[in-house]
Amino acid sequence: MEVNHSKSRPSMKDVAMLAGVSHQTVSRVINHSPDVSAQTRARVRKAIQQLGYRPSNSARALASSRSRIIGVIMGGDQFHGAVLTLQAIEAAARARGLFVTVSMIRKAMCSQDEFNRICEGFDELNVDAYIMMVPTDVLFLAACRAPVTKPRILLTATHGGTSVGTGLNMIHDGDGHDRTAVVGVDQWGAMDRVISMIAGYGHRHALYFTGPSEWRDATTRLDAWRELSAQYAIASRIVRCRSWQASEAYARMNHVLEYIGSSGGALPTVIVAASDAQAIGVARALREHDIRIPQDVSLVGFDDIDVAGDVVPPLTTIRPDYRQLGVAAMREALFLLGEGPEPGYPVSTYGVGQVEAKVVKRASLAGVSLGR
């Protein structure tokens, strides 16, 4: 069979000729349609590789009435987890021949009108689907109320001022089909594992540093801590923080230590913080008061940021799989677009498919010292 081997860019017709199929079959293979036999699919892919064919995104968009663009609205972009998730979304999209366009909401707070304007801008690009990283209650509600008709995937925590179910009931699906998915991190399960470890080391008195109340992650972690610490008979005092920052946790830990010193109270045997940054601030205050970690008090964080294993002593923490969260978001988008199978999750609660979060044991957590 004669095939065009000129220096011009190979076409879909060239691939079809070499593989001995129609150009429609080549299009189905390129667009990952399930309506092609494995044998034919292999033959087409071999021809694509042999010719060095690269499909035109504009041609694919015209053929499918889709833009091949995923719109990502990213709240809290300055945070470790959000960046890792975005990187994974972009890599997964690129592997499927899709493009990602991103709008960043830097303070993770905005009005409904501002959120709607972002969606309107994406509508002008004819995005195929929305992935909305909405870590706060305000953003979660804005995402649910946004008047979009394309599939939307919400990345958020299971608990907050508004339940997931209440938010989803606000979404109007004009065609009557379910075009929304919610994905998050199994923070409750991770908290259960870390509290079980703490109890196993003999700790029965703890401090817990919360995150800012408007963040759904902070609410989920606090709710899990309260319920599970009680189940494990750990008496705890809650230290409320208005931010995730080390500086605030440092100041609040100093106040706690001053109160203990003036009242003659006892130091807790373990401190758990809702973020690694907070744990680092706590550690600074403890060092300045000549309190040793973990000999005098153990310390646990959350997020496993890059420096968590390099501080002294290395920090025990929870490591959410933020990259897998991004992959799961793209799988949901492809499923809702009819281009992939329905994703599965190890845990799914409150209508949220959840990816794993592991406990990383390091030297900052140890058993209770004798006599305490």
First-last CA distance in the chain: 84
Q: Where are the domains of the chain?
A: 12-55, 66-185+322-355, 187-320
Can you give the pLDDT at residue 139?
A: 95
Token pair recorded at residue 77: 């972009």
d(C-alpha 206, C-alpha 274), whole Å = 13
Q: Give the largest Cα separation in the chain, rounded.
A: 92
Q: Are 297 and 267 in contact (CB under 8 A)?
A: yes
Token pair recorded at residue 238: 């809650």
Can you give the pLDDT at residue 64?
A: 53
The per-residue b/e assignment along 37-51, b for 16 or more CB within 10 angstroms, e otherwise, is: eeebbebbeebbeeb
Can you give the pLDDT at residue 14?
A: 86
Place of tokens 């969260």: 325
Token pair recorded at residue 357: 């979060």
Can you give the pLDDT at residue 324?
A: 97
Can you give the pLDDT at residue 60?
A: 54
Distance of CA 165 to the CA centre of its chain: 19
Rounded to 5°, angle at Cα 185 from 184 and 190? 155
Per CATH, 66-185+322-355 and 187-320 having the same topology is answered: yes
Going residue by residue through the chain, which has 372 residues, state the pLDDT in tens, using 9 for 90 and above.
Answer: 444 444 567 887 888 889 998 877 887 787 666 778 888 989 988 988 888 887 655 455 545 567 889 999 998 756 788 889 999 999 999 999 899 999 998 766 789 999 999 999 998 889 999 999 999 999 999 999 999 989 999 999 999 999 999 999 988 654 434 789 999 999 999 999 999 999 999 999 999 999 999 999 999 999 999 999 999 999 999 999 999 999 999 999 999 999 999 998 899 999 999 999 999 999 999 999 999 999 999 999 999 999 999 999 999 999 999 999 999 999 999 999 998 999 999 999 999 999 999 999 999 999 997 445
| CATH for the 187-320 domain, from 3.40.190.10, 2.40.10.120, 3.40.228.10, 3.40.50.2300 | 3.40.50.2300
User: Helices H, strands E: what count in the chain?
Assistant: 13, 13
Can you give the pLDDT at residue 32?
A: 67
Can you give the pLDDT at residue 72?
A: 97
CATH class of 12-55: mainly alpha
Strand partners, 136: 215
Can you give the pLDDT at residue 38?
A: 87
Three-state SS at 139: helix
CATH code at 66-185+322-355: 3.40.50.2300
- Who's near 352: CB < 8 A, 6+ residues apart? 156, 157, 158, 164, 182, 183, 184
Can you give the pLDDT at residue 145?
A: 93
Can you give the pLDDT at residue 36?
A: 85
Extended beta strands in the chain, E state: 69-75, 99-105, 129-133, 152-155, 180-185, 205-209, 235-239, 270-273, 298-300, 317-320, 347-349, 352-355, 357-360
Can you give the pLDDT at residue 65?
A: 65
d(C-alpha 197, C-alpha 207), whole Å = 16
Q: What is the CA radius of gyration of the chain?
A: 25
